Amino acid sequence: MEISTALLGNAIIAGLLLGGFYAAVSVGISISFGMLDVVNIAHPAFILLGSYIAYIVNDTMGFDPIVVSVAVSPLFFMLGMALYRVYYLCFEKRGQESLRGLAFFFGVLFITEVTLVLIFGVDYRMVQTAYSETTLRLGVLDFPLRLVVPFLVSLAMVVGVQLFLTHTFFGRAVLAVAQDQLALRLMGINPYKVKERAFALSIATAGVAGAFLIVIQPVQPSIGRDFIGLAFAVCVLGGMGSVWGTLLGAFVLGFAESFTATFFGPSWAPAVSFGLLLATLAFRPSGLLGR
């Protein structure tokens, strides 16, 4: 196959746009796992929940899914707070978080998936938006809007999270909690409240990412599991606890998948992504931008 500029150019564009989406999926994990040390394996379940809520509203009232998801993100925030409270009371307080916490979130993931199946069935669901079927063409390069719009909003969200963490008092409290809980307590801040809200934020981002997902591709309940590995791969690759690292990791993964799909055969793309994760864990566990 001759590698034309069109093919190469479009592979780069696709990788970039895909990477933006992967960043939205993973930024929540970057917070909950990277900063709070909570291994929320159920993160993709909330992404799917976001997708289905966006789908229902879009199907019945025709509103744009991304707008809907931003509007309902406070609900996800509250859901996150409730979930963290249960997690904290049952596990973290008792020091059992490693094994039991993992099993707990695994169970939550499962219950969410099966409940979605019982309600919606396993057929794929799609949304109709004003831009789903438009593609901008610049010369030989294609920019399908169904990828571009989520990409832009996702970037805005990720940058927003980073600015929140570095420029607001609460945000810096989150960064502090990640570094040294005791010191934080000595300064008069309740680490539980900080962690509770940070975790809630991560779940809120999951809800919005869900809308991106259903704009980009059809969804059905079991695809959540495909994203567990991806989200953690991105975070570990980028470096835990670093939002810029997550963004970088997401782009690396997006490019890896896009290039593999275009030049070597799409069949190998999942192995490349996860192979990258395994290699990172084996040789540089702190990731690219990690501490």
Partner 1 sequence: MKLIRAIAGMLGVMLLAASGVTLAQQPPLRIGFGMSLTGPLAGNGKAALISMEIWRDDVNAKGGILGRKVEFVHYDDQTSPATVPGIYTKLLDVDKVDLIVSGYGTNVIAPAMPIVMQRNLCFMTLFGLNVNSKFGYDRYFQIMPAGPEPSMDWSQGYFNVAMTLSPKPKTVALVGADAEYPAMALEGARAHAKRLGLKVVYDKTYPPNTVDFSPIVRAIQATNPDFVYLASYPPDSAGMVRAVNEVGLKTGMFGGGLVGTQFAALKTQLGPLLNGMVNYEAYAPDVSKKFPFLEQFLAKYQARAVKEGVDPLGFYLPPYAYAMMQVLEQTIKAVGSLDQAKLAAHMHKAEFDTYVGKVRFAKNGEWAMPRMLTVQYQGIAGNDAEQWKQPGHVTVLYPIDYRTGMVKAPYYGSKK
Partner 2 sequence: MSNRAFALVAFVIALAIVAASQLVHNEYFFSAAYTVLQFVILATAWNILGGYTGYVNFGSAAFFAVGAYSTVFLYKAFQPPLIVMILTGTLVAGMLGLGLGYLTLRLRGVFFAIASLAMAVVLFTFVVNWDYVGGARGAYILQPREVPFGFPRYIHLLYAAMVLMAAFALVVARAIETSTLGRGLAAIRDDELAAECSGVPTLRLKIFSAAVSGALMGMAGTTFPYYLSYIEPSSAFGLSYAVNSIAMPLIGGMLSWPGPLIGAVLLGTIQQLVQVTVSSAWNLLIVGVLLVAFVTLAPNGIMGWVDAWRRRKH
Nearest-angstrom CA–CA distance, 237 and 34:
12
Q: Which of 122, 130, 182, 282 is the binder for partner 1 (CB under 8 A)?
A: 122
Size of the site for partner 1 (CB under 8 A): 35
Closest distance between partner 1 and the C-beta of residue 216, in Å?
6
Residue 246: closest CA among 161, 141, 137, 189: 161
223 binds, among partner 1, partner 2, none (CB under 5 to 8 A by kind): partner 1
Judge whether 157 and 24 are in contact, CB under 8 Å. Answer: yes
Helix residue ranges per DSSP H, 121-264: 145-167, 169-179, 181-186, 191-216, 224-238, 243-259
Q: Which stretch binds partner 1 (CB under 8 A): 11-19, 68-76, 80-88, 279-287?
A: 11-19
Closest distance between partner 1 and the C-beta of residue 123, in Å?
6
Closest distance between partner 1 and the C-beta of residue 230, in Å?
10
Please report whether residue 224 would count as binding partner 1 according to CB under 8 A. Answer: no
Nearest-angstrom CA–CA distance, 136 and 144:
6
Q: What residue ranges bind partner 2 (CB under 8 A)? A: 33, 39, 41, 86, 90, 96, 98-100, 102-104, 106-108, 110-111, 114-115, 117-118, 222, 225, 228-229, 232-233, 236, 267-268, 270-271, 274-275, 277-278, 281-282, 285
* Total count of residues recorded for the chain: 291
Per the listing, tokens 């099966």 go with 114
Rounded to the nearest 10 degrees, how much is the dihedral formed by the CA atoms of 104, 224, 9, 275?
A: 50
Residue 46: closest CA among 18, 83, 100, 88: 83
Closest distance between partner 1 and the C-beta of residue 270, in Å?
6
Helix (H) or strand (E) holding 285: none
Q: Which of 96, 98, 115, 135 is the binder for partner 1 (CB under 8 A)?
A: 135
Q: What residues make contact with partner 1 under the rule CB under 8 A?
A: 1-2, 4, 6-7, 10-11, 14, 18, 117, 121-124, 126, 133, 135, 142, 144, 147, 216-218, 220, 223, 226, 258, 261-263, 265-267, 269-270
